[in-house]
Amino acid sequence: MNNNKLKITFLGGVGEIGKNMTALEYNNEIIIIDAGLTFPDDDLPGIDIVIPDMSYLIENKDKVKALLLTHGHEDHIGAVPFLLEQLSVPVYGTRLTLALVENKMKEHPKVKYKGVAVKPRNVLKLGSFLIEFVKVSHSIAGSLAFSITTPVGNIVHTGDFKIDYEPIDGEMTDLSRLGEIGRKGVQLLLCESTNVCRKGYSMSEKSVGRTLDEIIKNHAQNRIIVATFASNIHRMQQILDIAEKYKRKIAFTGRSMVNVSEVALKLGELKFNRDNIVDLEKVDKMDDKEILIMTTGSQGEPMSALTRMAAGEFKNLKIRQNDLVILSASPIPGNEKNVYNVINALYKLGADVIYDELADVHTSGHACQEELKLMHSLVKPKFFMPVHGEYRHLKTHKELAMTLGMEERNILLPSIGMQVELTANAMKEAKFVKAGQRLVDGIGIGDMDSNVLRERKQLSEDGICVVCVNINNVAGEVVGDPFIITRGVVYADEQESFVQDAKASIIASLKESDLRGADPTMIRASLRRNMSNFIFRRTKRRPMILTIVTLG
């Protein structure tokens, strides 16, 4: 039965940066926009990645018709394999986006995957949904916005975008088509908010190229190492062109850099002469002025190539006095400390370092205020919900929309798990569904409140103490001294006295108990209480305590 209500469910990407995922539902049909991940904070020890809780989609898996991908960044495609483990649905995206997904699917060989390539201005019919794909500029090629016609009206989802008047691929954000869509009438705009706090316009990618060209020209005698995002193919293209211009060979390092360059070359998104590419192992035999090394590690990731170079632990390349390192990226919020640690380490090794605070070697792929205003002015939506940002971004974007004349009652700030109902005349918050974070740890997936995470936090904060006791339960006596091992509990100069006092405390507590025929479970519980109290009195910490009781 047609109820003339469209449900929009936010499973990620609102009130936060990353793990973008939104579901549009009409009657018995659901389409999903993006399935992204985010990386763990320091309070998630041992966790590899964080993905959205997909419980709502799994509960309604018979309704799900397709997954639509705006572009190939990890915060939009990183959770695709985990979604497809649960749902068998086709995946739609541009050729580059799907190629990057296919690379990820190689690590999940048992998961069924069907990718369907689309191009800008293609139109796709999925049940009650008619989707048109619209070209947008971003920091990765093959980025799309969606114009989705539904029974309650047209919805525009911008994806991540910027308005670059000098795009590297020569194809601007399709402003004319967005204007045409706006003139036909748009019921709801879902617009990204990442850079809404920045005034003006984002810098053109070609401006970065001009800066890089000048730097490389002025350092003709230096060996040059450039760190950038592997997914920023337009940046890579400019660096390759500049290297060829100044007769430098290129060496790629970092797994993602090598993989993405191969994929992009195969698809024609990246163009370079293979004769100009050399193996990293040959770099030390070449003159400094003949080589440019392109690497991962612009965010100071602990295991990345640049970070290992800075630590002197990269076997294929050692940083030298005549090296110039360019970090063609700005630190993602939260990564600042790692990035500056790498910069400091590079300086200590004698390299010169140029980064975004010293020169225009990076530009964002996200729209600033004036570009967002243009998007709103073109689309002219009746209702608006800001997405892809922390709460402060969403709130600022709401205020920006109001300065353009939108009424506050027509704007809603979404949050994780919120389900919004849209009709031809109204938009309202309907309910909250189960949503949040799922933690990927190796091949396991867990919840925020899992015992594994609690135990890791306890270990990281207070350490561990293992107590081994041998008891003759016939005579009711302790045999020998208790054996105690601690890690992360006391400092080395306190260790000996701590262990001796702990042994004495254990023996004294056991003498107070009747050990003949005693239940080992009860003895272990008593030992654990005793050690916990002893350690807390001594250190004001509560480490994890493991007790082993041997009866003989």
C-alpha distances out from residue 526 to 207, 389, 545, Å: 69, 50, 12
Decide if 437 contacts 18 (C-beta within 8 A). no
Q: What is the pLDDT of residue 460?
A: 78
Tokens encoding 397: 């974007």
Q: What is the pLDDT of residues 417-426, one digit of tens each?
A: 999 999 999 9
Q: Does pLDDT of 2 surpass 70? A: no
So what's the pLDDT on residue 73?
A: 94
Residue 458 to residue 488: CA distance in whole angstroms: 11
Instruction: State the chain's mean pLDDT as an integer.
Output: 91
Q: How many Å apart are CA 297 and CA 22, to the nearest integer?
A: 30
How many angstroms separate the CA atoms of 219 and 435, rounded? 51
448 or 489: which leads in pLDDT = 489
pLDDT exceeds 90 at position 26: yes
How far is 211 from 362, CA to CA, in rounded Å?
A: 9
Measured CA to CA, the distance from residue 397 to residue 401 in angstroms comes to 6
User: 343-346: long-range contacts (C-beta < 8 A, 24 or more apart)?
Assistant: 345/310, 345/311, 346/309, 346/310, 346/319
Give the confidence band of 1 by pLDDT, cuts at 50, 70, 90. Answer: very low
Q: What are phi and psi of 21, to 5 degrees?
A: -165, 125
At residue 457, the pLDDT reads 75
pLDDT of residue 461: 81
Average pLDDT over residues 123-145: 96
Q: What is the DSSP string of 283-321?
A: GGGS-GGGEEEEES-TT--TTSHHHHHHTT--TT----T
Residue owning tokens 């939260």:
334
* Distance (Å, whole) CA 233 – CA 308: 23
pLDDT in tens, 141-180: 999 999 999 999 999 999 999 999 999 888 899 999 999 9
Task: Please report the pLDDT score of residue 127 as a whole number.
Answer: 94
- Residues 25 and 421: their CA atoms lie apart, in Å, by 9
Q: Do residues 34 and 22 make contact, with C-beta atoms less than 8 angstroms apart?
A: yes
Cβ atoms within 10 Å, residue 514: 7
Q: How does DSSP assign 341-370, residue by residue?
A: HHHHHHHHTT-EEE-TTTS-----SS--HH
Q: How far apart are CA 547 and CA 523, in angstroms?
A: 9
32-65 pLDDT, tens digit each? 999 999 887 766 666 778 899 999 999 999 999 9
pLDDT of 448 reads: 59
Beta-bridge partners for 546: 466
Which H or E run contains 138?
none
Distance CA 252, CA 346 (A): 19
pLDDT band at residue 192, thresholds of 50, 70 and 90? very high
Q: If you search the block for the tokens 């695709």, which residue do you land on? A: 80
Domains of the chain: 6-200+364-446 (3.60.15.10), 205-354 (3.40.50.10710), 463-551 (3.10.20.580)
The identity of residue 125, as a single letter, is K
